Amino acid sequence: MKQFFLACLFCTVFLFNAQASTSKFIPQSELIHNALAVISERYVAPERISSSALLQGAFDELALTFSPVMIKSKKDKHHLYIKVTVDSDVKEFDVQRLANVDDLNNVVQSLVKYIKQNLPDNTKLQKVDYAVIKGMLKKLDPHSSLIVPDEYTQFNMSTSGDYGGVGMVISQVKGKIVALYVLDDSPAQKAGLKPNDQLVRIGEQTTLNMFPSEVADLLRGKASTKVKVYIMRKGFKTPRQVELTRARLSLNSVYSHIFKKGNARVGYMQIQSFQSNTFNQVAQQIDDFEYESKDFKGVILDLRNNPGGLLVAAIGISDLFLKKGVIVSTANAHRKNKQSYNASWFKTLDYFPIVVLVNGDSASAAEILSGALKRNNRAVLIGQRTFGKGSVQQIIPLQKNTILKLTTAQYLTPGDYSIQSVGIEPNIMLVPYFLSHKGLVMSPQNYFGEKDLTGIFKWGNKLEKSDYVSYYLLTKENKKYFNASAPRYSKKELVKWLKGDYLTQTSVAILVNNNKAATAKLKRVAIRYVKQQEQKQEQNLIHALATKKINWNKAPYKKSTQKALSARFWFTKKVGKKWNASTSALVAGGDYRLYAEVKNNSTHVISRIKANSKATETWNNGIAMVFGTLKPKQKASWYYEFSLPKNVDSVNKKLSFVFKNQKQTFLKKNVVLNIQNQGAPRFTYSLLSSTVKDNKEGDIKKLHFQIANKAATPTGKLEVFLRNGEGDNLFLIKGKTMHGSLKKGESFQGDFSFRLKQVPKDKTIDVSLTVIDKLYVDKSFEEKLKIPVEKETWQLKNALPYFTDVRYPLVAKNNKAQLSFVVQDDSSLKDTYLFVNNHKVFYQNYETAKNKTQAHVNTTLRLKKGMNQVVLIARDDRRVMTEKKLFIRY
């Protein structure tokens, strides 16, 4: 094992609360021990491993995962004092520095043991281990992670590309489980299932109130086993039973199409991800193109929105198209221990030119393929800069169905060029824009990518610039194709989408005009074609802006002083059909316009003036206000129209505009949006169970409910449903109710019904009541219930806890802010806790308090630069939770 020293921590402990439970026997966590051993041995950058950072990551994740857990620490020169709170139990650890990973493991094991001993008895203790490891990995880099058993099946499917199932892609549509697509030659297709079929029951379990993932788990299983599916379809009076025999299925990651232009043919291939079977699928699709015929002009590889996948798949596909040259190299953080993967001449497909389409969501393995083809001059890349992920993760089993995905190398594209955090710039960058009443909407150059993630590696080389950058105007018809990703699974929908996609059609035209020439000539042909289209696109934009009385004609450029332009902003609010000036706060639920007016203060014409938005907090990046060409002393204005949702939180946002023309930046001007919340609903509810005798299939259990709103703010549309926690022992007959908005004091009633096969050993049934407010989603709630089966009736009344008198600054003058509030509950509070930017900073348990219905909280928050999110959470004695979000800008 590779040896190196860590600054680690060891502990001696003493007890603050003598009543803390120590009766549970808690063995040491083998999973945590193994994870730390693997990290120390295989992590790509040992110098990034910090024992204190790993501990802090574990603290944060434990506090985020488990409501009653709160961990605080303070340190001096030689010690770290860790105070752990679990509900009302408190223990403090005195930790000294030591020098190896085993000692760090000992510290973590001690903390974990104490937490496990004091968590509620029904807690799955393995989740504590998962939280610790996940938290530590977050402190290493954004891509190292832990795959736990609940995620294992889906992860295994995404990498292997095959599984045992029936061949349907399902989703939840208006609360119902529906088949979106039925895969070709699958058991589902052979049995006659069709898209839009509703799956109402799987075996003995109704799909009512199930999540799609739960239904998918029921449909999957070993090949050759059978599963009964009950479906509803338009025209069916009752559900019909279909018996399906599961089969070993292979998920397609590649979809193709042939475009025909006269006698010319162009092959299109969309690679959605890189799985173990992707290479074979690509090779098969290429064969189907009949690429050796004279009328075949080339291939379009569409890697847009491809998040990556297996390194070996990307290398194999690159080798398929390359006769020689380096495909990719892997190395450690300092570019040592380099291993290069070279192309082989054997079975190389170099008979045709290639255009590769990329965008900001082309990442990882998609960037390896793009980089290999671009830097070996095998293909021309068109689109936008890629994501910029230049690291390699290794899959390392820890326990059964538990996997560590750890960053073990960086990869370098040919020429030892790292794209980490910079991405791959296409040969030809095509930037779309769309004109609307909201402004000139452009695909932002400052897109979200690897560079925006926390804790990234900084290996990247200097960004290579595109050979040519061009803009194109999206029409109303093809705007919808730009906003949405290419359809998956359905060939018919994909082809329809491609016909409206500008980049695809541009690539087809380039390959047809190229006439199978080499890559160097293909690039020249592509640039020439894009330039021709650019002239047409520019005229389209000039005409479109002229309809809005904006002159976009280009005038001779003359350098201006920085003060050549001045600008002012103002807001208007929609009242009825009129727009009135607004000088006060922007109120949630209102329609507003932000106006900007520009004046030319110079003595010469300044052309093509616009102002691009740049938000300090990601808000409306990519909006351009357009003012056009202005003569001396001339003014022009533009507005950006927006609506504030009724549920928006109070916040003070800063929006920055940069005013420029095609060659010069003139000024930057900030606009403050002071947004005011209108409150939120507050729910109370009651439940009453009863039994109805039914001689046919057994007794029916009914659960009557009443939901009420006690706040002045009306709710949104409500969805109330009962979720089954008993598996196939319980069959829901009626489990969902929809209702409109509730005003203050209004309520509505309904009931659920279900049957039991047999009485559970504990004489109770596990279900959960969920109330979803479609507008105020964060006010939705769930309560897990244990309903006695043999009692004639069972009754429950409860009200959610709520916050009042919340006081805090929207804008802080320094890195500290005072927060005070009152938390209340009609019966009994359990606890209150606070998060600041996902760090739990406050926890208070009220189980031994004299006043359990009301508590005052006053605390000081530490802030970071920019926008800080504060989340207040309160739970009542039934562990039903309510939350309130605050935003403080510093």
pLDDT of 683-700, one tens digit each? 999 999 988 877 666 788
Other C-beta atoms lying within 10 Å of the C-beta of residue 15? 13
pLDDT of 1: 37
Q: Cα-flanking dihedrals φ and ψ of residue 11, to 5°?
A: -135, 150
pLDDT of 98: 60
pLDDT of 583: 83
Q: Which residues pair with 288 in a beta bridge?
A: none
Place of tokens 């549970």: 24
Average pLDDT, the chain: 88
Residue 384 CA to residue 366 CA, distance in Å, equals: 13
The answer to whether 140 and 48 are in contact (CB under 8 A) is yes
Q: Cα-flanking dihedrals φ and ψ of residue 842, to 5°?
A: -155, 135
| Structure tokens given for 392 | 């390699």
Strands 89-98 and 79-86: antiparallel
Q: At what angle do helices 491-499 and 502-514 cross, to 10 degrees?
A: 80
The answer to whether 495 and 517 are in contact (CB under 8 A) is no
Place of tokens 């029921």: 218
| Structure tokens given for 341 | 């993967």
| Structure tokens given for 49 | 């491993």
Strands 69-75 and 79-86: antiparallel
Residue 119 CA to residue 89 CA, distance in Å, equals: 10
Residue 770 CA to residue 757 CA, distance in Å, equals: 24
CA distances (Å), 762 to each of 4, 700, 789, in order?
A: 53, 19, 9
pLDDT of 474: 77
The amino acid occupying position 643 is S
The answer to whether 249 and 224 are in contact (CB under 8 A) is no
| Structure tokens given for 869 | 């999110």
Nearest to 768 by CA among 830, 722, 705: 722
The amino acid occupying position 713 is T
Nearest to 256 by CA among 242, 269, 274, 275: 269
pTM of the predicted model, to two decimals?
0.86
Handedness of CA 729, 734, 738, 739 (dihedral sign): negative
Q: Which residues contact 260 (CB under 8 A, 6 or more apart)?
A: 266
Residue 363 CA to residue 386 CA, distance in Å, equals: 6
Which residues of the chain fall below pLDDT 70?
Answer: 1-23, 98-99, 158, 160-163, 436-447, 475-489, 516-517, 615-622, 695-697
Cα 545 from chain centroid? Answer: 36
Q: CA angle at residue 804 from 798 to 808, to 5 degrees?
A: 140
Other C-beta atoms lying within 10 Å of the C-beta of residue 406? 24
Residue 229 CA to residue 361 CA, distance in Å, equals: 37
Nearest to 865 by CA among 626, 646, 616: 616
| Structure tokens given for 304 | 């847009």
pLDDT of 830: 96
The answer to whether 799 and 781 are in contact (CB under 8 A) is no
